[in-house]
Amino acid sequence: MQLRGSVAAGIDNVQAAEAMAYVARHAGVTVPVLIEVDCGLRRAGVPRGPPVLKLAKQVARLSGLHLRGVFTHAGHAYAAQSPAAVARIGRAEGEVLVETAASAASSRHCVEIVSVGSTPTARYAGAVPGLTEFRPGNYVFYDRMQVALGAAQLEDCALTVLARVISRPDPGRLVIDAGSKTFALDRGAHGTDALAGFGQAPAQELVLERLSEEHGMLSRGVDPRSVELGDRLRFVPNHACTLANLAEMLLGVRGDRVTELLDVLVRGGGR
Amino acid sequence: MQLRGSVAAGIDNVQAAEAMAYVARHAGVTVPVLIEVDCGLRRAGVPRGPPVLKLAKQVARLSGLHLRGVFTHAGHAYAAQSPAAVARIGRAEGEVLVETAASAASSRHCVEIVSVGSTPTARYAGAVPGLTEFRPGNYVFYDRMQVALGAAQLEDCALTVLARVISRPDPGRLVIDAGSKTFALDRGAHGTDALAGFGQAPAQELVLERLSEEHGMLSRGVDPRSVELGDRLRFVPNHACTLANLAEMLLGVRGDRVTELLDVLVRGGGR
């Protein structure tokens, strides 16, 4: 499979397509669009089969838009109960989209882009012949959620939080200087609540149990001999995407050396 | 009660105080400090009574620090089951701190600042004689959490999210263009999970049920005749603090007119 990048607007509704075409014509541009197919997440998207063909026909008629293909996102894989279930959802994601693309092509619609995307399903959906693009995003960092889904190991997780123990009200209770404004409150993606706690510190085998906005609290399993006030603990977060979105800057580190400052752009709604 | 503002460092541990005093002496400055008293949240803070007096004595000896008083935060009010319980926690917050301040003063420690703070308890703690400061933060906006605690009415909530219906996969199911990167995932504060959903649109009597990062989903109670694709719905968020922290800018609105742009500073860890 040869992969290509592309930018296009997602469409799942003729009303939205008409409004977009109207604006495009007035601006004198042609907007590339992909039809979003719902492969099971039940978020946005058109059901596979006839509804896709019907919308493709309607969109193809609109000047101002250029229909380039179809896409889907198997976000329901985040609610899977086992790596086998992730694999099943991933294969279905690829197959549903390739079948949809084939029937659209046989109706003479342009389907040069056939695009799937989600990190846990990438290795399964991506193996289905006929796709031209996949869009896993989380894989850049991985996180505790991906580990729980079998998509990565803890040591693969590249984005961590270094937090300091700032209070120790009793020997078995720690407070760190990072809370929900650093870690976010995700315990899964797309509304799943799969994980216990909000991050884990593998070296000390500790789980971050409770978050206020600027404080994190730990008590279970704290060994008073292994952690001191002022120590820094390195946490693997539950969800790297929302965590990165909360930071103005990430530090690139090799060993103990900071080698890069990475600005986090396009967050906070922009201006 | 006359209220004054102040900036000081919180201290709940002699080790941290010694480290801070060391740095202050080397920088040639004196840092004003307050002792944090735990009035029930079980986060940071020293228990009331003898532990406070012991720490006050230790801190008073350290050159580089200037002990100015005591403070507490009754964050456990967010887990209260009724407005009466909020009132009880609020009164206790004020009384515990005033008693603590009185016994520290009788040991000749400086207690010119006696500071409580949390929005739900403000009216109760703030009524206890002997306090010099309170620090409610959320009251600037209020939110759905404060409404649930009886601290505000929905119409008092000043921070809202205007989101557009961007997809309508079937007549009773809506997708909006704002998800957890706009609303955050708070369903309470300090680890409480009191609220159902992630925000509500009072005009349409809808609750935001499920969030992906950039999408919000609603289905229960959607009246197909009252909401159209492209409509904008105004949501009262669960937690104004973490929501404001996710935005680069807030729009000040009077009626239908945008009258002000408010930059959100000091978020994302700063630089």
pLDDT in tens, A180-238: 999 999 998 777 788 999 999 999 999 999 999 999 999 999 988 889 999 999 999 99
Q: How far apart are CA A164 and CA B19, in angstroms?
A: 14
Starting from the edge strand earliest in sequence, which strands make up the sheet with A232-237, in order?
A206-207, A199-201, A232-237, A161-170, A173-176, A216-218, A210-211
| CB contact at 8 A, B77 and B123 | no
For residue B149, being part of any structural domain is answered with no
Q: How far apart are CA B218 and CA B112, in angstroms?
A: 51
CA of A194 vs chain B CAs: smallest distance (Å): 14
Same-domain check for residues B131 and B225: no
* Model pLDDT, residue B87: 96
Q: Is the pLDDT of residue B270 over 70?
A: no
For residue A252, being part of any structural domain is answered with yes
- Give the domain-ending residue among B136, B163, B193: B136
Give the amino acid at B226: S
| CB contact at 8 A, A60 and A71 | no
CATH of the domain at B164: 2.40.37.20
Contact A38 B212 (CB under 8 A): no
For residue A3, being part of any structural domain is answered with no
Q: Is the pLDDT of residue A116 over 90?
A: yes
Contact A247 B269 (CB under 8 A): yes
For residue B197, being part of any structural domain is answered with yes
CA of B181 vs chain A CAs: smallest distance (Å): 7
Q: What residues in B contact A51, CB-CB < 8 Å?
A: none
CB pairs under 8 A between A and B: 135
Same-domain check for residues A22 and A87: yes
Same-domain check for residues A110 and A203: no
Q: What residues in B contact A249, CB-CB < 8 Å?
A: 268-269, 271
High-pLDDT (> 90) share of chain B, %: 83
CA of B107 vs chain A CAs: smallest distance (Å): 23
The pair of three-digit structure tokens given for residue B178, joined into one six-digit string? 């704002």
Q: For the residues B78-106, what does the mean pLDDT come to? A: 95
Extract the runs of DSSP E, i.e. beta strands, from chain B: 9-11, 31-38, 46-47, 65-71, 113-116, 133-134, 161-170, 173-176, 199-201, 206-207, 210-211, 216-218, 232-237, 249-254, 257-263
| Domain limits for position A234 | 154-263
Q: What residues in B contact A185, CB-CB < 8 Å?
A: 184-186
Q: For the residues A114-118, what does the mean pLDDT come to? A: 93
For residue A270, being part of any structural domain is answered with no
* Model pLDDT, residue B186: 96
Same-domain check for residues B126 and B182: no
For residue B147, being part of any structural domain is answered with no
The pair of three-digit structure tokens given for residue A240, joined into one six-digit string? 């790297």
When the pLDDT of each residue in chain A is averaged and rounded to a whole number, the result is 93
| Tokens 């941290």 -> residue | B16
Same-domain check for residues B58 and B105: yes
With bands split at pLDDT 50, 70 and 90, how would you rate the model's confidence at A110?
Answer: confident
CATH of the domain at B26: 3.20.20.10
How many CB atoms are located within 10 Å of the residue A207 CB? 18
Same-domain check for residues B101 and B183: no
Q: Is the pLDDT of residue A169 over 60?
A: yes
Same-domain check for residues A116 and A163: no
High-pLDDT (> 90) share of chain A, %: 83
Contact B246 A246 (CB under 8 A): yes
Same-domain check for residues A187 and A128: no
For residue A149, being part of any structural domain is answered with no
* Model pLDDT, residue B4: 57
With bands split at pLDDT 50, 70 and 90, how would you rate the model's confidence at B191?
Answer: confident
* Model pLDDT, residue A103: 94
Taking only the tens place, the pLDDT of each residue in A49-107 is 999 999 999 999 999 999 999 999 999 999 998 899 999 999 999 999 999 999 999 99
| Residues paired with A69 in a beta bridge | A34, A113
Q: Is the pLDDT of residue B2 over 80?
A: no
Nearest residue of chain A to residue B216 (CA atoms)? A43
Same-domain check for residues A129 and A225: no
| Residues paired with A115 in a beta bridge | A71, A133
Contact B166 A271 (CB under 8 A): no
Same-domain check for residues A158 and A130: no
For residue B30, being part of any structural domain is answered with yes
Taking only the tens place, the pLDDT of each residue in B128-139 is 999 999 898 899
Q: For the residues A138-159, what does the mean pLDDT come to? A: 95
| CB contact at 8 A, B166 and B176 | yes
List the single residue in B43, B215, B271 with the smallest CB-CB distance to A212: B43
Q: How far apart are CA A71 and CA A104, in angstroms?
A: 13
Determine the distance from the C-alpha atom of residue B245 to the mean position of all C-alpha atoms in its chain, rounded to a whole number. 12
Count of structural domains, chain B? 2
Q: What residues in A contact B267, CB-CB < 8 Å?
A: 181, 248, 268
Contact A242 B75 (CB under 8 A): no
Same-domain check for residues A206 and A112: no
CA of B131 vs chain A CAs: smallest distance (Å): 24
CA of B21 vs chain A CAs: smallest distance (Å): 15
Please tell me the pTM assigned to this model.
0.93
Contact B16 A230 (CB under 8 A): yes
Contact A167 B212 (CB under 8 A): no
Question: To probe the interface with B, which of A34, A35, A38, A43 has the most B CB atoms within 10 Å?
Answer: A43
Q: Is the pLDDT of residue A167 over 90?
A: yes
Task: Tell me which range, A177-191, B157-171, B218-232, is most confidently predicted by mean pLDDT.
Answer: B157-171
High-pLDDT (> 70) share of chain B, %: 97
Gyration radius of chain B over CA positions: 22
Q: How far apart are CA A215 and CA B224, in angstroms?
A: 43
Same-domain check for residues A165 and A59: no
* Model pLDDT, residue A2: 53
Burial class, B186, CB count within 10 angstroms (exposed 0-12 / middle 13-18 / buried 19+)? buried
Extract the runs of DSSP E, i.e. beta strands, from chain A: 9-11, 31-38, 46-47, 65-71, 113-116, 133-134, 161-170, 173-176, 199-201, 206-207, 210-211, 216-218, 232-237, 249-254, 257-263
Q: What residues in B contact A269, CB-CB < 8 Å?
A: 182, 247-249
List the single residue in A184, A190, A215 with the smallest CB-CB distance to B43: A215
